[in-house]
Amino acid sequence: MQDILCAKVSTKNGFYKNHSPVDLVNIYSSPLYVYNEEIIIERVKRMKSLIKSKNFKPYYSVKANNNSYILRTIHKLGMGFETVSLEEVKYLIKLGISVDKIISTPNNIGYEELRSLINLGVDLTLDSLDQLQMAVNIDNKRKFKIRINSGIGLGHSNKVVTGGKNTKFGFDETELLELLNTDFLTEKIDGLMHHMGSLFLDEDGYIKGARKLLEYAKLFNNIKTVDFGGGFGVSYNLRDSQNDLNIANLSYELTKLVDEYKFYDCEIRIEPGRYIVAESCILLGKITSKKVSNSKIYVGCDIGFNQMPRTALYGSYHDLEFYSKNMKSRTRQRVNIVGNICESGDYIATDREFYELFPDDIIGVLTCGAYGYSMSSNYNMRFRPAEIMILEDGSVRLIRRREELDDFINLMEF
């Protein structure tokens, strides 16, 4: 039986079912994204019942993870999709998902992209007054929704806080008042949404923002949709005081809020992405090297920030596991775990204590299902890993093959 350093969703509670992480790496190579289907299904069901209203509809935020198998699984469970680009919309349509299941909230797009979205019949939420005017010029017969900056921002990094005074998103109060003074444009609005940021673990701020959005909705005459956005957090670090988001309390408060404002005939929306997929995935890799430099220990592995960019981009923390038969017989060391990309910012963990690590030990980076593969790249000409899904019945399915050199060359002209 393998020893686990810090278990969250792995062998101690059946994440890998009857499979060994070591065996999976031997079969599918390393690095390797490993997903658990049961976790995704459970999270979708939880989100679908969040608000007790006959007109409640949750939409999965595609940017969090766009693997086609995952999207089809979510679709089968009856959830819609929130998109931010024309390419995401076309991709969903290619997968057989009908346009009436897709909403789109782009920002700063040009005329041609906006016209294409309108021609496809996508339910559009627009980000600014000039984007709304452009859309009305393209089609003055249809209704649109607008994104409000409610003045409240949430998020784990200032790079993902999308509400408040320092963000490019949404109608602020001044622009909203300008819109309300323009009767022609106001009549084109049938819905409001906001998104305050990503990864909140305290529901109070979300409830406060939702209340403010409903107050804005009262200023309009023909509101058919109110969208509270996403940002539902998961706990990446089990060793500090973070707690999981209290979904039961959030459900109660949001339901009470909708009842209070009597928006019974309105479609009420949310847009979770991270919450659905983050904890469904562990990224496996191999320890490749070890060195001491200026009295610091650097443990190298084959997971670079091209394959999982969150730590380099946001300074994010991820819990780690290590898989070896003799792990706990080793001494403990304070180390930096780094990748194989030619950048000083290419790290997975800094100044953290683990059992001593050696080449060929297997590392598991937890909570990688959201903004891991979807933000990956070919930087340093390193190729993206394979993705596999551990299905409900315990079998393993390859859901995206590992990239190869020919994939890269075929995009070039010689």
Q: Can you read off the two tokens belonging to residue 129?
A: 């007054």
Strand partners, 335: 352
Q: What is the pLDDT of residue 6?
A: 31
Phi, psi of 114 (to 5 degrees): -65, -45
Longest dimension (CA), the chain: 74
In three-state secondary structure terms, 171 is: strand
The answer to whether residues 196 and 232 touch, using CB atoms and an 8 Å cutoff, is no
Q: What is the pLDDT of residue 383?
A: 93
Q: What is the pLDDT of residue 1?
A: 26
In three-state secondary structure terms, 113 is: helix
Phi, psi of 296 (to 5 degrees): -110, 140
Q: What is the pLDDT of residue 348?
A: 95
**Average confidence (pLDDT) over 100-124:** 96
Q: What is the pLDDT of residue 386?
A: 98
Q: How far is CA 248 from the centre of its chain?
A: 21
Residue 183: which residues within 8 A CB-CB, separation 6 or more?
none
Residue-averaged pLDDT of the chain: 89
Which range has highest mean pLDDT (109-113, 197-201, 221-225, 240-244)?
Answer: 109-113
Binning the chain into helix, strand and coil, the percentages to the nearest 5 are 35, 25, 45
Question: pTM score, two decimals?
Answer: 0.92
- Which of 167, 82, 182 is CA-nearest to residue 130? 182
The answer to whether residues 203 and 250 touch, using CB atoms and an 8 Å cutoff, is yes
Q: Can you read off the two tokens belonging to residue 19?
A: 């499979």
Cα-Cα-Cα-Cα dihedral sign, residues 378, 380, 382, 387 = negative
Residue 276: exposed, middle, or buried by beta-carbon count in 10 A (0-12, 13-18, 19+)? buried
Question: What gap in Å lies between CA 173 and CA 150, rounded to an integer?
Answer: 8
R_g of the chain, CA atoms, integer Å: 23
Q: What is the pLDDT of residue 152?
A: 63
Residue 310 amino acid letter = R
In three-state secondary structure terms, 40 is: helix
Question: What gap in Å lies between CA 189 and CA 177, rounded to an integer?
Answer: 14
**Average confidence (pLDDT) over 393-407:** 96
Residue 393: exposed, middle, or buried by beta-carbon count in 10 A (0-12, 13-18, 19+)? exposed
- 287-320 exposure pattern, b = at least 16 Cβ within 10 A, e = fewer: bbeeeeeeeebebbbbbbbbbbbbbbebebbbbb
Instruction: Give the model confidence (pLDDT) of 19-35 as tens digits.
Output: 999 999 999 999 999 99
Q: What is the pLDDT of residue 166?
A: 64
The answer to whether residues 370 and 70 touch, using CB atoms and an 8 Å cutoff, is no
Phi, psi of 15 (to 5 degrees): -55, -45
Question: What gap in Å lies between CA 52 and CA 48, rounded to an integer?
Answer: 9
Q: What is the pLDDT of residue 200?
A: 75
Q: Can you read off the two tokens belonging to residue 349?
A: 């963990």
Question: What gap in Å lies between CA 3 and CA 19, rounded to an integer?
Answer: 15
Alpha-helical segments (H) within 81-182: 86-94, 111-120, 129-138, 173-180
Q: What is the pLDDT of residue 363?
A: 97
Instruction: Give the model confidence (pLDDT) of 187-205 as tens digits.
Output: 999 999 888 766 678 888 8
Phi, psi of 135 (to 5 degrees): -65, -40
**Average confidence (pLDDT) over 33-53:** 96
Q: Pick the residue with more confidence: 369 or 408?
A: 369
Q: According to the 3-state scheme, what is the secondary structure of 236-279?
A: CCCCCCCCCCCHHHHHHHHHHHHHHHCCCCCEEEECCCHHHHHH
Whether 139 shows a pLDDT value over 80: the answer reads yes
Instruction: Give the model confidence (pLDDT) of 229-251 as tens digits.
Output: 988 889 888 765 457 789 999 99
**What's the half-sphere exposure (Cβ side, CA atoms, 13 Å) at 285?**
26
Instruction: Give the model confidence (pLDDT) of 259-268 as tens digits.
Output: 998 877 899 9
Q: What is the pLDDT of residue 318?
A: 93
Q: What is the pLDDT of residue 361?
A: 95
Whether 342 shows a pLDDT value over 60: the answer reads yes
From residue 114, how far is each of 238, 340, 358 by CA, in Å? 43, 40, 53
Q: What is the pLDDT of residue 314?
A: 84
